[in-house]
Chains A and B, each alone.
Chain A
Amino acid sequence: MINTRSVEARLIKNIVFKSLVFSMSFIVLIPLFFILFYIVKNGISAFSLDFFLNLPKPVGEIGGGISNAIVGTLLLIVISSSIAIPFGIFIGLYLAENKVGLLPELTRLCVDTLQGVPSIVMGIIAYAWIVIPMGSFSVLSGGIALSLMMLPIVVKSTEETMSLIPESLKEAAFALGAPYYTTMIKVVIPSSKKGILSGVLLGIARVSGETAPLLFTAFGSPFMNTDILKPANSLPLLIFNYATSPYDDWQSLAWGASLVLVLFILSLSILAKVVIKK
C-alpha cells in the first residue's frame, strides 16, 4: 500500500515547509537589526555633554540639547505612575479576589476595552477632560492621558500574579484571626510584589514612548518647565517635532533622543524580567 514515492514527496514537503518557517523567522530579525543599527549609529554621534544638559537651540546654533525633554518625560512618568499604580493594584486585587459575578466581569471587560483604546483617542479624552476645563495644555493632562494607558497593564499583571497565590497562604492568615483587609495588605500584596513591580516597569516602558496622547495635552515646548500646569516637552514629542523638521542638527537631536528613549525602554523591560526571575 505504502508508496515510497509519496512518502518521499511528503518528506520533501515537510523540509520545504520547515525551511520556509525558519527563513521567514530569520527575516523578521532584519528590520529589527536595521532599526537598531540606525538608531545607535546616528544617535551616538549626537551624544555629548551639551546634548544631555542644554535646552534645544534655534536652527543654526550649535550645542542644543534635550534636557527639557528628559525632565518632561520623567515628570509625565511620575504623574501617570502615581495615578495608575495605586488604582491598578487595587483593581487587580479586586479582580483576583472576585473571579465571578456581574460587576467583576464587567470590570474585566472594561479593562480590556481600555487597553484597546487607540492612544490618539486617549489624547482627545485628556484634552476634553483636562485641557479644555483648565484652559491650557499641561503636563498634568499628558500625565493623565498616559495613566489611562498604563492602568490596564498594571491591572492585568497584578491580577495575574495574585491569581497565582495559593489559597493556603490566605487561609494561614485567616486561621490566625486576621481580618480580610490586613490579609490583603500584609500577605497578598507583599507576596505579589515582584509581579506587580514587573507590570509597573512594563507599564512605564510602554507609556514613556507614547507620543499620540501628548500631541494635544503636554503639547511640547522649547523651554525647561517643571510646572505641571504648563505645557512641556517630552522625548517622543521632541523626536516627532524634530524628525519632521528639515534641519540637519534638529534631526540629529531627534536621533540622539531616539537612542536615549530606546535605551531607557530597553533597560526597563530588562529590569522587569530580572525582577520577576529573582
Chain B
Amino acid sequence: MGAQNFIRLTEAKDLIFKKVLGLCGLIVIGLVLGIFLTLLSKAALSMEHTGLAFLYQTVWDPVREHFGALPFFVGTMITSILALSISIPFSFALAIFLGEYVKDGPWSSVFNTALDLLAGIPSIIYGFWGLFVLVPIVRSFESAMGVLPHGVGIFSSAIVLAVMIIPYSASISREVISLVPEDIKEAALSLGATPFECITKVIFPYAKSGIFAGVLMSFGRAISETMAVTMLIGNSNKIPTSIFSPANTLASIIANEFAEASEELYLSSLVELALVLFFVTAAFSLIGRIIIKKWVLDK
C-alpha cells in the first residue's frame, strides 16, 4: 500500500534526522577532543626535550634552544591578578547599581548600553587605544614616580585588561545576585536593615560561592585575553620585577613569536604554552560553572 511505504520512508527520514542531530553533538565533542590532541601532539617534542623543567626554568632563549616558561606564568599571573583587583570592585558596584538601585529607567539602559559597548569593542582596538593614549600617561606617571619610564608593561596592560573584563564580570555578578530570592531581601529590609546591610549581610553571604565562581571565570577570561595585552605588555621574556616592568603573558608570547618561529622545537615549545593556556582557561571556566550549578541546586 502507498501509505505504508510513505510512512516507512517518513520513519526512515525521522531516524536519519535524529541521528544527524546526535552526530552534530558528537562533532562538538570531537572538536574539543581534537583541539586537545592536536595541542598535545604538537607539544610532544617540547615535552620530550625540556620535560618538567619547562614549567619552572626562568630563561626563554630560542636561539640557544633553552625554553623555560616561568617568566610567562609570572607575567600572566601578575597581569591578570592586577587587572582583576582593579576591575572587581567596579564590577560589583555595577552589578549592585543595576541589580538593586537602578533596575530600570533611562539610567539603567545607559549603563547597559555602555556595558554592551565595552564588551563589543575588539581587543585590538583596546590595545591600539592603550598604546596611543594610555601609555604616554603611564609613562609620565612612571617618571614622576621615579621608575624607569617604559610606558608599556604590566601596569598599562592590567589597566586596559581591567576595563575589558568589567562587562564580563559585572554580568556574571549580576546574574548571581539576581538568583538571590527576592523574599529574603525583603525579609531583611522589613526587619529594618538598610540596603547596605541587606547587601553586605544577606545578599553577599547568600551569593558568595556564586560570586567566587564569577571571579574564577573572569580570571580565566583575563588570562586568555591576547591582542590588547600583546600590544601593551612590552614583549620582554625576563621575569618581571615590578608591576611596571615589561613582560609577556602566555597569550602574548605566542602572538609575538609564533609566526616567526621556524625551528621545530621552538614551535613545539610555543604550542606547549598554548596547551597550558588551554588547560588553565578550561579548568577555570569549568570549575566556575560547576560551583554555580552546585550553588543553584543547593539553594
Classify A-B as touching or not with yes or no (CB < 8 A). yes
Q: Could you list which residues of chain A lie within 8 angstroms of chain B, going by C-beta atoms?
A: 10-11, 13-14, 17-18, 20-22, 24-25, 27-29, 31-32, 34-36, 38-39, 87, 90-91, 93-95, 97-98, 103-104, 106-107, 109-121, 123-125, 127-129, 148, 151, 155, 179-181, 184, 205, 208-212, 215-216, 219, 236, 239-240, 243-244, 251, 254-255, 258, 261-262, 265-266, 269
Residue interface bits B252-274, CB-to-A below 8 A is 1, else 0:
00110011000000000011001
B25 touches A95 (CB 8 A): yes
CB-defined contacts of A112 to chain B, threshold 8 Å = 285-286, 289
B93 partner, pick from A20, A106, A179, A269, beta carbons under 8 A: A20
Report B175 CB to chain A, min CB distance, Å: 14
- Find the A residue at minimum CB distance from B200: A17
B24 partner, pick from A91, A118, A266, beta carbons under 8 A: A91
B274 touches A124 (CB 8 A): yes
B226 partner, pick from A14, A32, A36, A120, beta carbons under 8 A: A120
Interface hub of A91, A115, A208 (most chain B Cβ within 10 A):
A91
Give the CA-CA distance A98 to B281 in the complex, in Å. Answer: 27
Give the CA-CA distance A229 to B25 in the complex, in Å. Answer: 29
Main secondary structure of the interface of B (DSSP, over half): helix
**Interface locus among B53-61, B64-72, B123-131:** B123-131
B14 touches A35 (CB 8 A): no
B129 touches A39 (CB 8 A): yes
CB-defined contacts of B121 to chain A, threshold 8 Å = 35, 209, 262, 265
CB-defined contacts of B296 to chain A, threshold 8 Å = none
CB-defined contacts of A14 to chain B, threshold 8 Å = 194-197
Give the CA-CA distance A14 to B277 in the complex, in Å. Answer: 42
B17 touches A184 (CB 8 A): yes
B125 touches A262 (CB 8 A): yes
CB within 8 Å for A94 and B22 given contacts A32-B118, A119-B226? yes
CB-defined contacts of B97 to chain A, threshold 8 Å = 21-22, 25
CB within 8 Å for A21 and B93 given contacts A119-B224, A240-B227? yes
Q: A21-B96, A118-B277 are known; give 18 further A-B pairs, CB within 8 A.
A: A10-B197, A22-B97, A25-B111, A28-B114, A32-B163, A34-B129, A35-B126, A87-B27, A113-B285, A114-B32, A116-B281, A117-B281, A117-B282, A128-B42, A239-B124, A243-B231, A261-B125, A265-B122
B251 touches A120 (CB 8 A): yes
B277 touches A120 (CB 8 A): yes
CB-defined contacts of A208 to chain B, threshold 8 Å = 122
B124 touches A240 (CB 8 A): yes
- Find the B residue at minimum CB distance from A25: B97
A181 partner, pick from B17, B195, B251, B255, beta carbons under 8 A: B17
CB-defined contacts of B117 to chain A, threshold 8 Å = 32, 36, 266
CB within 8 Å for A118 and B122 given contacts A38-B132, A87-B27, A110-B31? no
A180 touches B277 (CB 8 A): no
Residue interface bits B28-64, CB-to-A below 8 A is 1, else 0:
1101101100110010000000000000000000000
What would 22 A/B residue contacts be, using CB atoms closer than 8 Å?
A: A10-B194, A22-B97, A24-B90, A32-B114, A39-B125, A90-B20, A110-B31, A114-B31, A114-B35, A116-B281, A118-B224, A120-B255, A121-B224, A121-B274, A124-B39, A181-B18, A209-B122, A212-B251, A240-B231, A243-B132, A262-B122, A265-B122
Taking the complex as formed, is B21 at the interface, i.e. its CB lies under 8 A from any CB of chain A? yes
Residues of B72-108 contacting chain A, CB below 8 A: 89-90, 93-94, 96-98, 101
Q: Which bracket fits the contact residues of B?
A: 35 or more
CB within 8 Å for A103 and B42 given contacts A25-B94, A112-B285? no
Residue interface bits B221-244, CB-to-A below 8 A is 1, else 0:
001111100110000000000000
Report B220 CB to chain A, min CB distance, Å: 6
Taking the complex as formed, is B146 at the interface, i.e. its CB lies under 8 A from any CB of chain A? no
A17 touches B196 (CB 8 A): yes
- Find the B residue at minimum CB distance from A261: B122
B24 touches A236 (CB 8 A): no
CB-defined contacts of B166 to chain A, threshold 8 Å = 28
A211 touches B122 (CB 8 A): yes
A118 touches B20 (CB 8 A): no
Give the CA-CA distance A227 to B128 in the complex, in Å. Answer: 29
CB-defined contacts of B118 to chain A, threshold 8 Å = 28, 31-32
Interface hub of A21, A109, A123, A148 (most chain B Cβ within 10 A):
A21
Report A98 CB to chain B, min CB distance, Å: 8
Report B253 CB to chain A, min CB distance, Å: 10
Give the CA-CA distance A39 to B126 in the complex, in Å. Answer: 10
A128 touches B17 (CB 8 A): no
Report A253 CB to chain B, min CB distance, Å: 12
CB-defined contacts of A22 to chain B, threshold 8 Å = 97, 101
Give the CA-CA distance A22 to B97 in the complex, in Å. Answer: 7
Give the CA-CA distance A116 to B277 in the complex, in Å. Answer: 11
CB-defined contacts of A243 to chain B, threshold 8 Å = 124, 127-128, 131-132, 231
CB-defined contacts of A151 to chain B, threshold 8 Å = 28
Give the CA-CA distance A39 to B124 in the complex, in Å. Answer: 12
Taking the complex as formed, is B278 at the interface, i.e. its CB lies under 8 A from any CB of chain A? yes
Give the CA-CA distance A128 to B128 in the complex, in Å. Answer: 29
